[in-house]
Structure 1
């Protein structure tokens, strides 16, 4: 343990509590944090260190320090052990992958030098802070080159569906955020400046740079500012790497300017891009394993990516050890492809003045993985190819964005939709509010209010949800859009809210109003009419009017059998509700017939005379008798491979809990199907949590 013999202050004065550390840590916007372990840090020392790293945490015993280190997930840690040396402490700290480097500040350098030779992360023993800071700054610069955000869309041979879906979600969010940010047109930098000054409060050096930025920045010098050693580069790369939406939104204007300037440079340049660009880096072993398993798939780099046309320069930056893999990336550019990609030489704009023959790619650029090969001991070569929007996987991604996130009423609403998809409800609410502040058109205002109503409904804040949806209707009716399909949607949402409050009469009234509007429109939307019938049927069944409910369920089914593929999950769920109503009415044999139809959805016609099929039918009948969800016959769909909503049977039927999600209409309002089951916190039309598996 470190000796605290000269420390007189109480623990309350000198040691940050775990709670306060976590609270402060939430606002870290850089890739690195600095830990000072030992004697109290002096004000002058802290100011000097803040010129290099903004966030500094002080600890006076190793246990508190290690507790903090274990909470760090997205940053690298630089540690300064001040004044006193204990080899056991070094050994403990050295074992954490989060720890990038250790510096020892000790006047007794000679007697301790031999003891540190065995520790790779220890950068040396320093007798003064000035000499240490020079090495610290260089170490951070080297480490920063390796802080890159990689997101993967796995190739089709990936064996783990769960891993594939998780990775493709992150990949998708990166692309959606890019898509939204680049659509924005505002030029207001004030909220960015406020955000930066709040983050860097007390950091004299960075606050001065923020002031310089406010006076000097313009769209034409965005690349120059990005390549400076300042808050902008550090904040932007961290935010993009970790998809920190608050910081990304604050810096949206700069992001757009960087992308535009890269495109402008590419158009103005008389030089063609090289056929191959290079990047050398030290990649965490777990990230490299994802690379190696994704040959043939796509990889998105969420940051702005710096590359070079100089093979030798890139090789200099590829190094490895037991925690990281040396990687040499070769990026192939096909000059015959019509690539709408923001990439250009920045030699004339960068503060480095062409020292590295730099080419900069815009955020979220997507590459196809061609190969991963070991070219010499300890060095792996990764071959990548720049993709275009014509790539089949990218087309499917674009279709998903168009179907689920795109909103013609503006990018702020789209950010709200995205945050809601990511289960960031409070952030979604903030973006919807920002949209409301900027909207002047009455109908767009109503649309934003309706989205806020749906969001609060998902948050189970029903009174607020009702208030927003009613305001949306009032807004739209002032403009005399009484027969508009949007009013029908608002009525549906109000019906949902009343149903959740067990006010069934009011719910039924609004569902009928919604359906009346849908039936009066030309052309009619058969899918929405079927949904209206199901909503009304559900309420009638809750009112124990199952005879009437069956009439509406059958009307819905008649439509769905015409407009949807026969194995679609909407049809499967409708079979299920019909079976429940028939069971309630005591018409057991008819109910069993519909339970059989549900089972049929999961068995091809040539397998319906097998022992497995007959066993499944018996299980379905038993489940219906016990009012359990016939869960094992409702599938889990992948958004890329099964966009038609077909049912896929679960392979594992013995789990206690399952989540089910279809890709079909993922952003539509919650419907009667959702209300019957316990809904998850994710805003998908058919996301249901099954508590009772067979």
Structure 2
């Protein structure tokens, strides 16, 4: 962080420039507190300098040390001037009389000091607090997303001769799916068992070369208790930055290692919230307003705020706000850097009847004491953007963004969230974490946590859980492109199930279906079809058939028919699957998108590229509304779009989509994954072909069109 503090020192007592003089020694000590110190011996020059200072992000400390002949009147003038100038943060007076009354009558006065050391100590405390305040009020990122014209499926039928898709487009601003995964992440982390020792070991390794942070970790280990989690969160130590960076970036490994503290912090904040709500009187106002100053890049402000009025504003981290508008406005900046960033003051109205997201005034729990006025929201709070306008005062370049805490949610995302919760029912917390990693597309991390779940003695002794984890590992390895391991764990799952269940049990049938997908990918279509049809028969005989499972089997059968070029039969079966899934799933569920990808593949094989692209675009829109932006499924859809565009001769567009695919896959999948290898090869081939095409075009130009040098 750039240095944001300046000290102006007016000293009329000493003019000695010797290196051992009191003046020089004081300067050296002040430099230890702040980098920039400007010394003046003449009051007029000092006043001229102060009044010329621009009001910017830098905070100015004013130190006055004057001899007895300086005059109280001039000193009072300086104090009054400092009081009126917004660029002066605080005033410190050096003198022999600690009881001088003048200094204490001004709000910016931070006391009278008789020695340099006590002055520097106080300034150091002030600088530390201000740096921490700035970091707290500026560094937290927000999770906001605007998605334009999202296709919402209204009704779908597919016949052997026609494909009709009735769709409705909407410009309603949507919460991004990543917010849903952040909510799942929070809930599972709070549910998991953990230990302080495990967290401390992780933190020591993280800061192994940082002596200062290791000292804080020692202190944490000796004195930490769950009842002072907020105190530790607000201290300027390893915890604050490590936790919020991990939440912001969804660093799931770090979050898992910090779950001990995350749980304590969330629960203490929730407890303080309940206590404060219970203590509130009926005469108190129903709405509280808090503020937050923020610098946002121009693109971020335009896309996430200006284009999202009336939409949702989601925050993945713990969010610090203040009751002090002036303090928040200070950190918003003055709008002078509009070519780079926008100065934004968020004004948040809190309706006290909204109780979905705990928040609390943490002044009494904070490391900064009772005068901070900080309101802290737990991770995952949701706000609605009510309005945006320029400030109507001297701060013409500062945006005022009006937010409102809300318990409303994006309706489509809420439906998707409720449905996807079913994937976590009755699972052990570590297994839930592994499933979440898989759904987010973090397959390598999912593998790690599935094995952690298997190590739990209570799970290894329970064949139901063990079999489900083996099956999950099989599916995860298939996604990772490790087919042999996928087969191994699918077979382990079936073996565990058959020790206690008959062959016609739905659980055995479901695993057999997953195993048959491998048969199909290996080209053993008949074996796959036999297994699929057997699974379908078992599903249909259930007292209460699982409609989504039936649709999944229909989709798999249609995939085999497509591979066998039985296109009419495949379309008929896809229609059945789509009709069921449309009735039982939210319209942004990724399973619907997978169906559209498969239907697109069929049309591509038949040479109908326009329909292929049409269905891929529908699939992409659904994936973008239900998966994290870096999910491998999105990468695969980009890759499929690229191939169809290539078949249409649109080489430049094809290369763009293939590059998008590679950008995602290379950051999420192992280097040896088939998708990574194939995509890299496609890019090289396309780039070479495009280069040759451009060279041929240039060579074939008429002579009078050729450029001359």
Matches within 5 A, 1:332-347: 332-335=349-352, 337-347=353-363
Contact 2:298 2:341 in 1 (8 A): yes
Residues in 2 aligned to 1:298 and 1:407: alpha-carbon distance in whole angstroms = 26
3-state secondary structure, aligned to 2:545: coil
Question: What is the aligned partner in structure 2 of residue 685 from structure 1?
Answer: none
Residues in 2 aligned to 1:104 and 1:347: alpha-carbon distance in whole angstroms = 32
- Can you list the C-alpha shifts for 1:616-670, whole angstroms capped at 9, x where unaligned? xxxx8xx776486841342425459999xxxxxx9x996537989xxxxxxxxxx
1:495 aligns with 2:516: yes
Question: What is the aligned partner in structure 2 of residue 309 from structure 1?
Answer: 323
Distance 1:164 1:195, change over 3 A: farther
Question: What is the aligned partner in structure 1 of residue 635 from structure 2?
Answer: none
Q: Which has the higher helix share?
A: 2
Contact 2:332 2:343 in 1 (8 A): yes
**2:294 counterpart (258, 262, 281):** 281
**2:613 counterpart (626, 632, 642):** 632
1:479 aligns with 2:493: no
**1:372 counterpart (388, 396, 408):** 388
Question: What is the aligned partner in structure 2 of residue 514 from structure 1?
Answer: 535
Contact 2:599 2:612 in 1 (8 A): no
- Can you list the C-alpha shifts for 1:571-617, whole angstroms capped at 9, x where unaligned? 8789889xx7xxxxxxxxxxxxxxxxxxxxxxxxxxxxxxxxxxxxx
1:420 aligns with 2:438: yes
* Aligned-pair CA distance for 1:359: 1.5
Contact 1:491 1:513 in 2 (8 A): no
**1:435 counterpart (449, 453, 456):** 453
1:259 aligns with 2:266: yes
3-state secondary structure, aligned to 2:344: strand
**2:256 counterpart (249, 254, 270):** 249
**2:418 counterpart (384, 388, 402):** 402
**TM-score normalised by structure 1 residue count:** 0.61
Unaligned runs of 5+ in 1: 1-31, 35-101, 106-113, 125-129, 581-619, 644-649, 661-677, 682-690
Residues in 2 aligned to 1:477 and 1:264: alpha-carbon distance in whole angstroms = 47
3-state secondary structure, aligned to 1:293: helix
3-state secondary structure, aligned to 2:367: coil
3-state secondary structure, aligned to 2:317: coil
**2:345 counterpart (328, 337, 340):** 328
Question: What is the aligned partner in structure 2 of residue 656 from structure 1?
Answer: 654
Residues in 2 aligned to 1:241 and 1:349: alpha-carbon distance in whole angstroms = 24
* Aligned-pair CA distance for 1:542: 4.6
Question: What is the aligned partner in structure 2 of residue 450 from structure 1?
Answer: 471
Distance 1:411 1:402, change over 3 A: farther
- Can you list the C-alpha shifts for 1:250-302, whole angstroms capped at 9, x where unaligned? 11121121111111112222246852112233334433333222211111122
- Can you list the C-alpha shifts for 1:181-232, whole angstroms capped at 9, x where unaligned? 23x1413233322221111002222112212222322221111111112111
* Aligned-pair CA distance for 1:177: 2.3
**1:171 counterpart (179, 190, 199):** 179
3-state secondary structure, aligned to 1:370: strand
Residues in 1 aligned to 2:480 and 2:325: alpha-carbon distance in whole angstroms = 53
Q: 241-250 vs 632-641, which deviates more?
A: 632-641
**Count of residue pairs brought into register by the alignment:** 492
* Aligned-pair CA distance for 1:400: 1.7
3-state secondary structure, aligned to 1:275: strand
Residues in 1 aligned to 2:130 and 2:207: alpha-carbon distance in whole angstroms = 22
Residues in 2 aligned to 1:574 and 1:324: alpha-carbon distance in whole angstroms = 44
Residues in 2 aligned to 1:358 and 1:121: alpha-carbon distance in whole angstroms = 21
3-state secondary structure, aligned to 2:351: coil
* Aligned-pair CA distance for 1:561: 5.3
Residues in 2 aligned to 1:162 and 1:484: alpha-carbon distance in whole angstroms = 43
Contact 1:453 1:469 in 2 (8 A): yes
**1:525 counterpart (541, 546, 566):** 546
3-state secondary structure, aligned to 1:317: helix
**2:400 counterpart (381, 389, 394):** 381
Distance 1:487 1:236, change over 3 A: same
Matches within 5 A, 1:111-126: none
Question: What is the aligned partner in structure 2 of residue 191 from structure 1?
Answer: 198
1:296 aligns with 2:310: yes
Matches within 5 A, 1:678-689: none
Q: 292-301 vs 530-539, which deviates more?
A: 530-539
* Aligned-pair CA distance for 1:460: 1.1
1:354 aligns with 2:336: no
* Aligned-pair CA distance for 1:341: 1.7
Which of 1 and 2 has greater Rg? 2
Matches within 5 A, 1:531-680: 531-536=552-557, 538-539=559-560, 542=563, 546=566, 554=572, 557=575, 564=582, 626=607, 630-634=611-615, 635-636=617-618, 638-639=621-622, 655-656=653-654
**2:188 counterpart (180, 189, 203):** 180
- Can you list the C-alpha shifts for 1:96-144, whole angstroms capped at 9, x where unaligned? xxxxxx9799xxxxxxxx9xx99x99999xxxxx999999967853345
Residues in 1 aligned to 2:443 and 2:398: alpha-carbon distance in whole angstroms = 44
Q: 501-510 vs 490-499, which deviates more?
A: 501-510
Question: What is the aligned partner in structure 2 of residue 13 from structure 1?
Answer: none
3-state secondary structure, aligned to 1:446: helix
Distance 1:658 1:481, change over 3 A: farther
Contact 1:343 1:360 in 2 (8 A): yes
* Aligned-pair CA distance for 1:532: 3.0
Distance 1:330 1:218, change over 3 A: same
3-state secondary structure, aligned to 2:343: strand
Distance 1:287 1:625, change over 3 A: closer
* Aligned-pair CA distance for 1:402: 3.0
What's the C-alpha RMSD, in Å, of the aligned pairs? 4.5
Q: 503-512 vs 191-200, which deviates more?
A: 503-512
Unaligned runs of 5+ in 2: 4-33, 38-48, 61-119, 152-168, 627-640, 659-672, 677-685, 687-709
* Aligned-pair CA distance for 1:398: 3.1
* Aligned-pair CA distance for 1:536: 4.0
3-state secondary structure, aligned to 2:268: helix
Contact 1:449 1:468 in 2 (8 A): yes
